[in-house]
Amino acid sequence: MGVAEIFESMEYGPAPEDAGPAMAWLEGHGRAFGHWIGGAFTAAGETFDSRNPATGEVLAAVTQATQGDVDAAIAAARKAQPGWEKAGGAARARVLYALARLVQKQSRLFAVLETLDNGKPIRESRDIDVPLVARHFYYHAGMAQLMADELPDRRALGVCGQIVPWNFPLLMLAWKVAPALAMGNTVVLKPAEYTSLTALLFAELSREAGVPPGVLNVVTGDGAVGERIVAAEVDKIAFTGSTAVGRRIREATAGSGKALTLELGGKSPYVVFDDADLDSAVEGLVDAIWFNQGQVCCAGSRLLVQESVAEDFLARVRRRMDGLRLGDPLDKCIDVGAIVDPVQLDTIRGLVDGAPGEVYRADVAVPDAGCFYPPTLITGLSPADRLMQEEIFGPVLVSTTFRTPAEAVALANDTRYGLAATVWTENVNLALDVAPKLAAGVVWVNGTNLFDAAAGFGGVRESGFGREGGWEGLTAYTRSAADAPKLKAPQAASAPKAATVEGIDRTAKLYVGGKQARPDGGYSRAVWSGKGALLGHAGLANRKDVRNAVEAAEKAAAWGRTTGHLRAQILYYLAENLSARGPEVADRIAALTGAKGKEAEAEVAASVDRLFTWAAWADKHDGRAKGVPIRGVALAMNESVGVIGVFCPHEAPLLGLVATVAPAIAMGNRVVAVASEPFPLAATDLYQVLDTSDVPGGVVNILTGDHAELAPHLAGHLAVDAVWSFSGADISATVERESAGNLKRTWVNHGRGRDWTRTDADAFLAAATEVKTVWIPYGEG
């Protein structure tokens, strides 16, 4: 087209980024790749094609890893790990710094290769992904440097298996690799089979940053390779991907002792209140659902707009959609690129075709060839519609309306997921009221899809667990430097041949919703002292009692909204009342466990002291204001997890209960505790203490009974948000496996003991809270 014609038409023309250098890199490797193991490429084995989704062109042949390949990679990582950890944080910081610099120096090569392989617009890979990758390595270079001083009680986990998705291939690599290496771990990473190339380029360049051989290994292949990594001798699995696969990994690793973090799917709400800057909220949607073709786990894919402005807002959205430019991802003037693969394109089509509601497709030209799907808005849906609940993972926005802030929150939280949420309002009262109420790991106020290495990212509910980024992300790549003691699992005294029965019968029931309740099954167990005295009976709870206790705990949700100050007062009061009954409780412990009088008294004293400690913490587990590189603040707020099931240790029947329940309720959780299996009466004696200490009904529920019988029901309950087990019974695998149902958080002992005289505040605080990151950009003028 001539200049004069364009002068009249004023169209955009092609503005392609040069693919030459990236193609030359591929050519330099004969367009065939093996794995990166022990600091070198292996020869290509049995390969599959990696294609450019915008054109269908084969970019390179990539090797499907065999069991032998995975074993070799794990062995290389295992061999390299002690040296890498011993090298020290300062040495690792220099390597991570060099990696950050390398990413910057080769930024365009990474961006172009990413766009070729993934189909995302070059603007995004160039301006968003790659700069964030560099930022992540810089940030974690700093974490390596500070580790010895700031995390003296933590050490590396060992070898980490990391499985990343295809939507942000290099960025997800950075999120996984940077903290792992910083903390002294070594890595076997598997990129998604659609998008292996930037990981291979990164691995090759890592030599130039001085990454020692074996510290970073990359194996390629499909889900079968992922399964091999999950099954391998690794110390940790970190996975980002679909909820379905995350659930399988949870089940597969149950009981293995492998640490696990899962960053899974979402159906994140995007809430627009009537006083929002509507044009900015529209533009935010472009960043929310038409960023990376909507193939973003935290995409604001569920629009909730206040009824009074809905018509106006949706009209603006449609107009904006028509202005999006769809096409060649390498073109510098393109907003929406290609869907990653024909399989994904079919999935999107399958979900949208025949959907109810009014479907609006952007009035844009869709290329004939390649994997393209137009930006789409579906209005008039209700929460009952499948598309309002299921993740589409494409450029498809679904929407409905709300009337009040309360209804907005209810609709926003009406989902199995809980990754991210967006709120638009000019009212600071409304924004700061709504943000904490949203079930999400990340909340953006008047913005969306803001990311930074300093700000934790991760979800709640079926969006997974664990955080990436920030100090909170480091717990996922470290463990306590202290070795866990051997597990003590005392057994209940068996019934004597000649029973001693004295005094008035005291019947301990279960404690549910602030009241004593007879066990549903109508069974009890006689509890004997070692000397053959009948100490009482303990109810045998069954699955229905679990159900009732969880229901009571759910009803006590208001506890999570109380102030730390109030919870502290109640915990102090509990301590006061327990102390008042100290001698009686000590006698009970002595009779139950056979402990000497002084030991039993010491356990009571320690329990009173522990209540004081958690009362102290109740109003002191402060969040952080993160120094993110925007004009604004990212608040890391420590929120309660919700309903926590606790299997108390067999040993230390009183202290074990107090040491686990007190931190949970101090942080605003409600608890269903299953008392020490052999010595349940130390817990039942607490009922009256709870009653007299103003603990609201349902905040603490106590069951007695068989841990192994109750474990699948409590861990499998879909309204329970976390389960901890310190039990002497072998239930760790059961708890982890059953937790997969709703992907609740678990903390189990894997047959290791715990020194109950230590508070271990860090571990309990971390387990008793979720870090919610609330991004609040600000500025006026």
Rounded to the nearest whole angstrom, what is the least distance from the CB of residue 413 to other proteins in the complex? 24
Residues 256-275 that bind other proteins (CB under 8 A): 275
Angle between helices 278-289 and 307-322 (to 10 degrees): 60
Judged by beta carbon, residue 362 or residue 540, the one nearer other proteins is 362
Interacting residue with other proteins among 57, 148, 280, 755 (CB under 8 A): 280
Beta strands in 513-579 (DSSP E): 515-517, 524-528, 534-539
Distance CA 452, CA 124 (A): 15
Rounded to the nearest whole angstrom, what is the least distance from the CB of residue 127 to other proteins in the complex? 5
Judged by beta carbon, residue 496 or residue 777, the one nearer other proteins is 777
Judged by beta carbon, residue 5 or residue 353, the one nearer other proteins is 5
Rounded to the nearest whole angstrom, what is the least distance from the CB of residue 315 to other proteins in the complex? 8
323 binds other proteins (CB under 8 A): yes
Residues 400-459 that bind other proteins (CB under 8 A): 426, 446-447
Q: What angle do CA 24, 61, 65 make, to 5 degrees?
A: 130
Rounded to the nearest whole angstrom, what is the least distance from the CB of residue 454 to other proteins in the complex? 18
Query: 86: which residues sit within 8 A by CB, 6+ positions away?
Result: none
Q: Please tell me what DSSP assigns to residue 705.
A: S
The DSSP element (H or E) to which 49 belongs, if any, is strand 47-51
Rounded to the nearest whole angstrom, what is the least distance from the CB of residue 386 to other proteins in the complex? 32
Distance CA 41, CA 200 (A): 9
Interacting residue with other proteins among 2, 28, 152, 522 (CB under 8 A): 2
Distance CA 720, CA 712 (A): 12
> What is the number of other CB atoms lying within 10 angstroms of the CB of residue 481?
11
- Can you tell me whether residue 450 is helix, strand or coil? coil
Q: Select the span of 255-263, 276-284, 597-605, 738-746 touching other proteins (CB under 8 A).
A: 276-284
3-state secondary structure 115-170: HHHHCCCHHHHHHHHHHHHHHHHHHHHHHHHHHHHHCCCEEECCEEEEECCCCCHH
Judged by beta carbon, residue 1 or residue 43, the one nearer other proteins is 1
Distance CA 269, CA 264 (A): 16
Interacting residue with other proteins among 359, 526, 616, 630 (CB under 8 A): 630
246 binds other proteins (CB under 8 A): no
Interacting residue with other proteins among 46, 57, 127, 208 (CB under 8 A): 127
Distance CA 173, CA 193 (A): 14
Question: Is the separation of the CB atoms in 442 and 772 below 8 Å?
Answer: yes
126 binds other proteins (CB under 8 A): yes
Nearest to 701, CA basis, from 545, 469, 478: 545
Interacting residue with other proteins among 204, 227, 233, 283 (CB under 8 A): 283
Rounded to the nearest whole angstrom, what is the least distance from the CB of residue 419 to other proteins in the complex? 21
N-to-C CA span, the chain: 43
- Conformational region of residue 772, where left means phi above 0, alpha means psi within -120 to 50, and beta covers everything else: beta
Question: Is the separation of the CB atoms in 338 and 371 below 8 Å?
Answer: yes
Q: Select the span of 171-179, 328-336, 386-394, 654-662 touching other proteins (CB under 8 A).
A: 328-336
Interacting residue with other proteins among 255, 357, 521, 632 (CB under 8 A): 632
Interacting residue with other proteins among 11, 353, 368, 502 (CB under 8 A): 11
Interacting residue with other proteins among 279, 307, 346, 363 (CB under 8 A): 279
Q: Select the span of 233-241, 248-256, 279-287, 344-352 touching other proteins (CB under 8 A).
A: 279-287
Interacting residue with other proteins among 77, 144, 181, 278 (CB under 8 A): 278
Distance of CA 650 to the CA centre of its chain: 30
631 binds other proteins (CB under 8 A): yes
Residues 335-374 that bind other proteins (CB under 8 A): 335
- Contacts with other proteins, 497-536, as mask; x by CB under 8 A: ----------------------------------------
Rounded to the nearest whole angstrom, what is the least distance from the CB of residue 16 to other proteins in the complex? 8
Which residue in 85, 114, 124, 297 is the catalytic one?
297
Judged by beta carbon, residue 15 or residue 224, the one nearer other proteins is 15
Distance CA 638, CA 621 (A): 7
Rounded to the nearest whole angstrom, what is the least distance from the CB of residue 319 to other proteins in the complex? 9
Q: Please tell me what DSSP assigns to residue 486.
A: B
> What is the number of other CB atoms lying within 10 angstroms of the CB of residue 514?
17
Annotation says 263 is catalytic = yes
Judged by beta carbon, residue 503 or residue 781, the one nearer other proteins is 781
Q: Select the span of 122-130, 535-543, 589-597, 657-665 touching other proteins (CB under 8 A).
A: 122-130
Which residues face 377 on adjacent strands?
Answer: 360, 397
The DSSP element (H or E) to which 318 belongs, if any, is helix 307-322
Judged by beta carbon, residue 497 or residue 631, the one nearer other proteins is 631
292 binds other proteins (CB under 8 A): no
Judged by beta carbon, residue 278 or residue 453, the one nearer other proteins is 278
Q: Please tell me what DSSP assigns to residue 78.
A: H
Q: How is 492-522 classified by DSSP, letter by letter?
A: PPPPPSS-B--SS--EE-EEETTEEE--TT-
Which residue in 17, 263, 639, 651 is the catalytic one?
263
Distance CA 310, CA 27 (A): 52
277 binds other proteins (CB under 8 A): yes
- Can you tell me whether residue 457 is helix, strand or coil? strand
Judged by beta carbon, residue 1 or residue 498, the one nearer other proteins is 1
Could you tell me how many residues of this chain bind other proteins (CB under 8 A)? 41
4 binds other proteins (CB under 8 A): yes
Distance CA 633, CA 511 (A): 43
13 binds other proteins (CB under 8 A): yes
123 binds other proteins (CB under 8 A): yes
688 binds other proteins (CB under 8 A): no
Distance CA 716, CA 550 (A): 12
Q: Select the span of 68-76, 85-93, 277-285, 670-678 touching other proteins (CB under 8 A).
A: 277-285
Q: Nearest 5°: phi and psi at 24?
A: -65, -35
778 binds other proteins (CB under 8 A): yes
Query: 252: which residues sit within 8 A by CB, 6+ positions away?
Result: 227, 230, 231
Distance CA 146, CA 481 (A): 16
332 binds other proteins (CB under 8 A): yes
779 binds other proteins (CB under 8 A): yes
Tokens of residue 207, six digits = 């030599």
Interacting residue with other proteins among 61, 252, 333, 605 (CB under 8 A): 333
Interacting residue with other proteins among 53, 214, 246, 284 (CB under 8 A): 284
Q: Please tell me what DSSP assigns to residue 85.
A: H
Query: Any idea which residues carry the catalytic annotation?
Result: 263, 297
- Footprint on this chain of other proteins (rule: CB under 8 A): 1-8, 10-15, 123, 126-127, 275-281, 283-284, 323, 332-333, 335, 426, 446-447, 630-632, 777-781
